[in-house]
Structure formats: C-alpha cells, structure tokens
Amino acid sequence: MAKPEKVAAVAAISEQFKGSSAAVITEYRGLSVAKMTQLRSALGAGSTYAVAKNTLVKRAAADAGVEGLDELFVGPTAIAFITGEPVEAAKALKTFAKDNKALVIKGGYMDGRTLTVDEIERIADLESREVLLAKLAGAMKGNLSKAAGLFNAPVSQAARLLLALQEKKASEPGAVAVEAAPPEATTEEAAAPAEAAEAPAES
C-alpha cells in the first residue's frame, strides 16, 4: 500500500475508533467472504466490521487515544466498530462466533477502557436497553433524579452500570443498591465513517 493510502487508511480507522461507543477486536481466519457479509448483516446498521493491517490499526488506535489493545492486533484482525446498541452488537458477535468457530473474539474497548472477552460476553447476555434501564432504575430504590438521567445516558454507560451492579451482587449476596455517577451529557452520535478499505491482514 502506497504511503498516501496508508495515511488515509489510518485516518479512517482512527475516526472509527473516535466515533464508536465500543469496539470489539476479532480474528477472522478462515471466514469466507459470504460469512463475513452475513456477520456484517447480523451486526446491523449501528455497526461496521472493518478488516485492516495490524500495523495500520495500531497507529490508528494510538492516534485516537485508544490504549491497551496492541497485544490483540496479531493474526488476521477485523474490528466491529459499534455506534448503535452495544448489547445487540455483542449478542450478534457472540452468537456468530458460537456458530462459526473461525471467528474469535479477542477483546474490545468501551468508555475509555479495555474489555476482556468475558466482559464482552457478559454484555452480550444483558437484556435490551429498555429492560436494562428499568432494572437500573429499580436498583436505585426510587431515586428518580438518577433514574431519569439514566434514560438519557449512552447505552454503553448503562451497560457498564448494570455490570457493576451484577459484580456488587456477586460480592455482597442480597445487595440490591448501586451508586451511579451522574451520566455524562449526551451528544449527537457522530455519523459512522465509511469502513476502512479491506486490506490483506498481517500475521
């Protein structure tokens, strides 16, 4: 790939990192073009599935301020950039990986921190946004101001709060309350940039 093309590819991937509420790193070794098309369809309109060289992805992640993922950028790498519902996208990836062993979920990134495979699977096991927020509101024992704020919070933040609630319940049997920080002010989601041009993956 010529240098100008590499620069453009890095910039495109960097913008995808910046514009996504979450990203899931996968290895797609052995997936046919038809299967990858099927996966993109399963992810839905709120996500893109981009294949790129590991060297370019590393540079793009660094440019976007995304840290802690370099060790995942090995082998044939493709990234699901999620701008829509993280729970639904995680469900689609988990289901597809279960039925297609060639797809391996390696980790991800959401809300400024890395995600383990286990955390991605736990997000995939969550209910829809409406049910998730209802549970969070109930767990707050009628604190209406916090509950109202949650309904305007990004889905990724709501998912994190429910994961925190589950961890609290696991460590303290019977505990039902969870303390939540006021949600960040919501902003209009950035339009998802076009997928990075698919290039042969590096080992």
Name which of 87, 84, 179 is nearest 136 in CA terms.
Answer: 179
C-alpha span between 146 and 83 (Å, rounded): 24
pLDDT on residue 160:
67
Name which of 137, 110, 112, 136 is nearest 124 in CA terms.
Answer: 110
CATH match of 3-124 with 3.30.70.1730: yes
**pLDDT, tens digit (0-9, with 9 covering 90-100), for 17-53:** 999 999 999 999 889 999 999 999 999 888 999 898 9
pTM of the predicted model as reported, rounded to 2 decimal places: 0.67
**pLDDT, tens digit (0-9, with 9 covering 90-100), for 92-109:** 999 999 999 999 999 999
* Tokens coding 79: 């990234």
C-alpha span between 22 and 35 (Å, rounded): 22
pLDDT on residue 52:
86
Regions of the chain short of the pLDDT cut 50: 175-203
pLDDT on residue 140:
62
pLDDT on residue 116:
95
pLDDT on residue 136:
67
- Whether 189 and 42 have beta carbons less than 8 Å apart is answered as no
pLDDT on residue 182:
43
Task: Map out the domains of the chain as residue ranges.
Answer: 3-124, 129-171
pLDDT on residue 186:
40
pLDDT on residue 28:
92
C-alpha span between 77 and 127 (Å, rounded): 28
C-alpha span between 19 and 154 (Å, rounded): 13
C-alpha span between 168 and 156 (Å, rounded): 18
pLDDT on residue 106:
96
pLDDT on residue 172:
61
Residue with tokens 């290039």: 199
Name which of 66, 72, 57 is nearest 104 in CA terms.
Answer: 72
pLDDT on residue 144:
53
